Structure 1
């Protein structure tokens, strides 16, 4: 199973499940966000969450703002994982219960499944990133392989960072993929209009 794609689709499903309850189907209002956080990410539930997540100040949270929040939460959990690994010589056991928590944990696990095969256990080398993309993002991988822009990205990684991608860069890539997938779903022509 393609873990990155599954995690992204699960996060999309969660967002749209709650955004579709009232008003704008593409944004979470205060009530929808509170319910989503209480049900899906209870560790992150706060009364003032809308203020934290609403980056453009429109009083609602769109998918881009939501996925940025997920990226931050995932990066914080990954930092905790690394801290425990270095300090206590063991990884953190994540008690993921909800669909969102499971998606977040699977993103951390998939990164470390591929990182370190070539030496550095905390970064993906170019070869490891390509392998991860091929196996865990099979829908996206064929599009990237023939894309000159992607080759340029890999080339820049190799020259600037000795061919490695850290977890934060990986999550930024995943977030961009999630936004692109969401955009394609939202803007897909309706097949019922025939």
Structure 2
């Protein structure tokens, strides 16, 4: 008999990021990609600390590897990676200043 267990932290994070992508990507009826408007709304609502900075640059153009003007799940994960690196740098800077 298999034990029932809770998802690990890593599994929970992956499931949450996938749900976040689909939450915004599905707003226009096509859940496979996010439009510029959907990306903007996601950044504004889900990442407000980074939103002001993201308005200065065209996030989709910077990450749009296939140049279709939309953000795929793979391109979304690149964005999440970049945001994670920025967070780590902030944490490192704050811990060094103590």
The two structures share one fold, judged by TM-score above 0.5: yes
Determine which of 72, 82, 86 is the counterpart of 1:176: 82
Q: Which consecutive unaligned segments of at least 5 residues does structure 1 have?
A: 1-94
Specify the alignment match of 1:166 in structure 2.
Answer: 72
Specify the alignment match of 1:190 in structure 2.
Answer: 97
User: Is 1:120 matched with 2:27?
Assistant: no
Question: RMSD across aligned C-alpha pairs, in angstroms?
Answer: 2.0
Specify the alignment match of 1:144 in structure 2.
Answer: 54
Q: Deviations over 1:52-90 (max 9, x none)?
A: xxxxxxxxxxxxxxxxxxxxxxxxxxxxxxxxxxxxxxx
Deviation at 1:190, TM superposition (A): 2.0
Specify the alignment match of 1:111 in structure 2.
Answer: 21
Q: Which consecutive unaligned segments of at least 5 residues does structure 2 have?
A: none
Structure 1 residues 65-76: aligned runs within 5 Å:
none
Task: Verify the 8 A CA contact 1:96 1:105 in the aligned structure 2.
Answer: no
Using structure 2 for the length normalisation, give the TM-score: 0.78
Using structure 1 for the length normalisation, give the TM-score: 0.42
